[in-house]
Amino acid sequence: MIEFAKSLSKSLVGFADQTRIDLRNRRAMARGASVIGAALILFASFARADEAPKIAEYLCYRTTDEQMKIDGNITDVEWANAPWTGDFVDIVGKSTSPKPQFATRAKMLWSDTTLYIAAHLDETNVSAKISDHDGELYTGNAFEVFIDPDGDNQNYVELEINALNTTMDLTMDKPYRDRGKPDLSFELTGMKTAVHVEGTLNNSNDTDRGWDIEIAIPFSALQSLAKKPAPSDQWRINLARSEYVDEKTSKYSVWSPQAEMNMHAPERFGYVQFTEEPPGKGVFKPDPTANARLALFKLYHAQRLYRYKNKHWATSLKDMNFTSDLPIDFHGTPQAWTASVTVKGPKPMIVSVDQESHVRVQSRTP
């Protein structure tokens, strides 16, 4: 069995390195139930445990215009002071990963009421088919936004938009790998979106330049997930683009590298820090729990590999041959486990993760 797992692991990691997502697999992933999908995600993540690329960071400045016009024009004065993200990278984000075929970059702004997102996607053949809201947008080229405001890996939003300005929005109670379920009935109420095509839509007889997207998400639409942000708060957000390279196969490029072929690993979403500083003057403050989270998710993936081989969770770190630079407090039974790391500093905290990748941060009483 272990030999089989090893050879499967090898072939799946090889496959995952191509960072292509077969349509059939995407459908299964959307339903959250594919055995191959689960194994592939498992091994892809295991392969990168020690060499995960850096999680992206962004300073989100306030807009001076409380009523930004959402018309798809992202070159106007409102957006001038918002910095571009770097060009999106391959979803796995290894130094050896291929460069995405087309460049993608994005900007974000905020106001008292609203999170604004702009994106530019280079594209030689802008196309979109689905026109019904909450339709299967993943069957075509799309831009995607993932938002986990409180960074607990549970109860996060996925938004997809195509070049017809069709949207699909849903919440996940937890990631698919943890048996989470999508809730398509969730609506980003009051959201405004617009798309501007630089070229011709659904006409492959010419060469297009790309498409621009402008999105305004009212914080009130996220009230079931989070309070609206205060200055210096950080939310976990990722931005992604799926691009079909043939009829059945899409490739992902992302703002924050996911380190595996799986968008539904919220611990890899980027850090967006809301600031009131004037444009260009803000300072990004690294998350004090970041190293604890990295150590705990390395353990989480080791546990998943252990369970794959043994059909139950490990009950000690020794069972997994797991070592860590940070001292980890571990409690587990074959059915459930939790692990925590104490973060020292002026405000000591205990960061924990459990078998459903639920992250909790508590202040430690002295």
260 near Ca ion, rule: CB under 5 A? no
Residue nearest to Ca ion (CB): 200
Q: In the bound complex, what is the minimum distance in angstroms from residue 151's beta carbon to Ca ion?
A: 7
**Residue 107 Cβ vs Ca ion, minimum distance, rounded to whole Å:** 24
Total binding residues toward Ca ion, as defined by CB under 5 A? 13
Site string for Ca ion, 28-47 (x = CB under 5 A): --------------------
CA separation for the pair 229, 362 (Å, rounded): 19
Q: Using CA atoms, how far apart are residues 113 and 229, in angstroms rounded to an integer? A: 9
Q: Does 178 bind Ca ion (CB under 5 A)?
A: no
- Please give the helix or strand (H or E) that residue 210 lies within, else none: strand 210-218
Q: Taking CB under 5 A as the rule, which mask of x and - marks residues 57-96 in contact with Ca ion?
A: ----------------------------------------
CA angle 336, 339, 344 (to 5 degrees): 160
**C-alpha span between 285 and 231 (Å, rounded):** 12
Of residues 97 and 200, the one with the C-beta less far from Ca ion:
200
CA gap 342, 329 in Å, rounded: 9
DSSP collapsed to 3 states, 109-136: EECCCEEEEEEEEECCCCCCCCCCCCCC
CB of 193 to Ca ion, least distance (A): 13
Closer residue to Ca ion, CB minimum distance, 78 or 158: 158
Of the candidates 357, 167, 180, 362, the residue with the CA atom closest to the CA atom of residue 269 = 357
What is the Cα–Cα distance from 34 to 44, expressed in whole angstroms? 15
CA dihedral 177, 297, 328, 56 (to 10 degrees): -150
Segment lying near Ca ion (by CB under 5 A), choices 53-61, 127-135, 249-257, 319-327? 127-135
Report the residue number, 50 or 132, with the smaller CB distance to Ca ion: 132
- Asked if 25 interacts with Ca ion (CB under 5 A), we say no
Between 137 and 166, how does the x/- string for binding to Ca ion read (CB under 5 A)? Answer: -----------x-x-x--x-----------
Q: Is 363 exposed, middle or buried (0-12, 13-18, 19+ CB in 10 A)?
A: exposed
Asked whether 153 and 354 are in contact (CB, 8 A), the reply is no
Q: What is the smallest separation between the CB atom of 89 and Ca ion, expressed in angstroms? A: 24
The nearer residue to Ca ion, 11 or 202, going by C-beta atoms, is 202
User: CA 37, 41, 47 angle in degrees (round to 5)?
Assistant: 145
Q: Does residue 41 contact residue 260 with C-beta atoms inside 8 Å?
A: yes
Q: Which is nearer to Ca ion, 200 or 324 (CB)?
A: 200
Return the number of the residue (197 or 305) whose C-beta is nearest Ca ion.
Answer: 197
Does the footprint of Ca ion cover residue 169 (CB under 5 A)?
A: yes
**Minimum distance, C-beta of residue 162 to Ca ion, in the bound complex (Å):** 14
| Shortest distance (Å) from residue 204 CB to Ca ion | 6
Which residues between 199 and 228 bind Ca ion (CB under 5 A)? 199-200, 203, 206, 208
The number of helices, as runs of H, and strands, as runs of E, in the chain is 5, 18
Binding site for Ca ion (CB under 5 A): 134, 148, 150, 152, 155, 169, 184, 187, 199-200, 203, 206, 208
